[in-house]
A and B are shown apart, each in its own frame.
Chain A
Amino acid sequence: METVADGNDVADVDDVFELAGEVLSSRLILGTGGVPSMTVLEEAIAASGTSMVTVALRRVVTGVPGSVLDVCDRAGVRVLPNTAGCFTAHDAVLTAKAARDAFETDWIKLEVIADDRTLLPDPVELLSAAEALVSDGFVVLPYTNDDPVVALRLAQAGCAAVMPLGAPIGSGMGIRNPYNLAIICEQAEVPVILDAGIGTASDAAIAMEIGCDAVLVASAVTRAERPAEMAEAMALAVRAGRLAAAAGRIPRRLYAQASTTMEGRPDL
């Protein structure tokens, strides 16, 4: 794909990743869903080099102190609350408000899913929740379909970024519609963060090559046989993809293009 990887949008690879006016030191964001233990999570965070980790809100289980927050504290990473498990704008808005109070942050990764089987975002409820939260002062980072129109509408509604999926959550299917993703990247005036579907490191690299500003990975790391090793692979892939996007790839062509001149060829 030629897409936006022509260097115009990503001229300086060492540029900082700025999101909602804040500078993040890594373009890899780590999700925590599916992690087998807090020890594994801590190792994965360290290996990933991430500076932001997303967490969910659930009911307190009486008498169980300590939490994923302790791990985030020790790692020195920013906590990005999410609205995982919400099916309606009402539930998502309430969860976001609870998260704002719990974590003292206006940032919310907005997830409003349609059903349990696909976990695909419900675009109607999502946009409704995004509008409500933006007007309430939240920095809204919405998990959305790979639909350029919905992504545009979310950005127009005041979201601080758009987070299109590559494939359904936890599917590991990579980027199923790179052309849609390219359109989203090309038209976006807010950062584009690839969210969901990454299966292995090359998927993350491709997302960055297409023009994404960052990648969020959860299951591909947390459910890998060796999460810390996969976390490191993801960090390298994000970096490689970013570099490649800025470097300006050669065009695809059907036939060969000789790399060696015919001039001076000996007559054998």
Chain B
Amino acid sequence: MTTGSAASAPVEVTVNGEPRRLPEGATVAWLVDDMGAGRRGVAVAIDAEVVLRSSWETTLLRSGARIEVLRAVQGGC
């Protein structure tokens, strides 16, 4: 990332396998809230690393990130 780029530069990421364009400055917390499934029972992984919920507010999303937002569903034997 170059410094001094335009303030509104979008962040191009992949969320649950789909390409998405997020506003600059979007955090994990912003994304989770934007997806509308609440926060309880939700987990987030970026590039195969879990982002702990205690870090959601401070973790900025960067272009190229592969983001998985997961929640509890029925399943498993």
Contacts and interface: CB of A to CB of B under 8 A. Distances in A.
A57 B74 contact: no
B72 A102 contact: yes
A111 B69 CA distance: 20
Interface in A30-67: 31-35, 41, 54-67
B50 A55 contact: no
Interface stretch (B1-9, B33-41, B58-66): B33-41
Contacts of B38: 65-66
Interface string B5-26: 0000000000011000000000
Contact of B50 (A59, A98, A109): A98
Nearest to A33: B75
Contacts of B72: 55-57, 67-69, 79, 81, 102-103
Size bracket of the B interface: 20 to 34
The interface size bin for chain A is: 35 or more
B69 A102 contact: no
A247 interface: no
A32 B74 CA distance: 5
A54 B71 contact: no
Given A64-B36, A69-B40, A101-B52, A41 B70 contact: no
A262 to B, nearest CB: 53
Given A60-B35, A64-B36, A102 B71 contact: yes
A82 B77 CA distance: 9
Contacts of A83: 76
Contacts of B48: 94
Interface of A: 31-35, 41, 54-69, 79, 81-85, 94, 97-99, 101-103, 109, 111, 119, 143, 169-170, 195-196, 216, 218-219
Interface of B: 16-17, 35-38, 40-45, 48, 50, 52-53, 68-77
